[in-house]
Amino acid sequence: MSYPILPLQSGFNKKDFCCGKDMLDNYIQKQASQDLKRRLSAIFAMVDDSRVIGYYTLSSTSVSRELVPEDVQKKMPPSYHDLPATLLGRLAVDQNYKGQRLGEYLLMDALKVAFDASEKHIGSMALIVDPLDEDAEAFYTKYDFIKLDSGKMFLPMQTIAALFK
């Protein structure tokens, strides 16, 4: 079964979303619409009819050059102290829909959106995530995200490009 992924709209049912992590449930139920209005995040929802069953958020961020792996650092011009990147702030799937590869589908969609934007609209040399806990870290490790000293995780846009070119 495939479900569409759409920019979050006010008509979607967000109140029943439950992924089992309060922070991520509260975010989509109570804060997401405000963040959209303030342009803090772009928010994409996977829907079953109009019910939100998964979501992710993207924002602009930067990463200090000292934090990125040395092989990547060497390729960056020294004048860039902070490197432009894209933040995958949150990603979650409703408990009733887990284990159907929807998390992977959401992640791939986020990678594609971030990659397209970096090609056509705004420079970004990596996708960054800030894993909530060990569970989240294990999920991102599966998809080759590299852990940085800051605790955040990093996937070079060059690696992402290879998936879509």
Ligand X SMILES: CC(C)(COP(=O)(O)OP(=O)(O)OC[C@H]1O[C@@H](n2cnc3c(N)ncnc32)[C@H](O)[C@@H]1OP(=O)(O)O)[C@@H](O)C(=O)NCCC(=O)NCCS
CA torsion angle for 25, 31, 37, 38 (degrees, to 10)? Answer: -120
Min CB(43)–ligand X separation in Å: 13
Q: How far is the CB of 69 from ligand X (least distance, A)?
A: 21
Residue 81 CB: number of other CB atoms within 10 A?
10
Q: Choose one: 2-10, 15-23, 31-39, 64-72; the region binding ligand X (CB under 6 A).
A: 15-23
Residues in 46-105 that interact with ligand X by CB under 6 A: 90-93, 98-104
142, 147, 158, 162: which one binds ligand X (CB under 6 A): 142
* E-strand stretches of the chain: 5-7, 42-48, 51-64, 82-93, 126-129, 146-147, 153-156
CB atoms inside a 10 Å sphere around CB 67: 15
Helix (H, G, I), strand (E, B) or coil at 41: coil
Q: Which residue, judged by CB position, is nearest to ligand X in the bound state?
A: 103
**Judged by CB under 6 A, which of 64, 76, 112, 138 binds ligand X?**
138
Q: Using CB under 6 A, list all residues that contact ligand X.
A: 19-21, 24, 90-93, 98-104, 131-132, 135-136, 138-139, 142
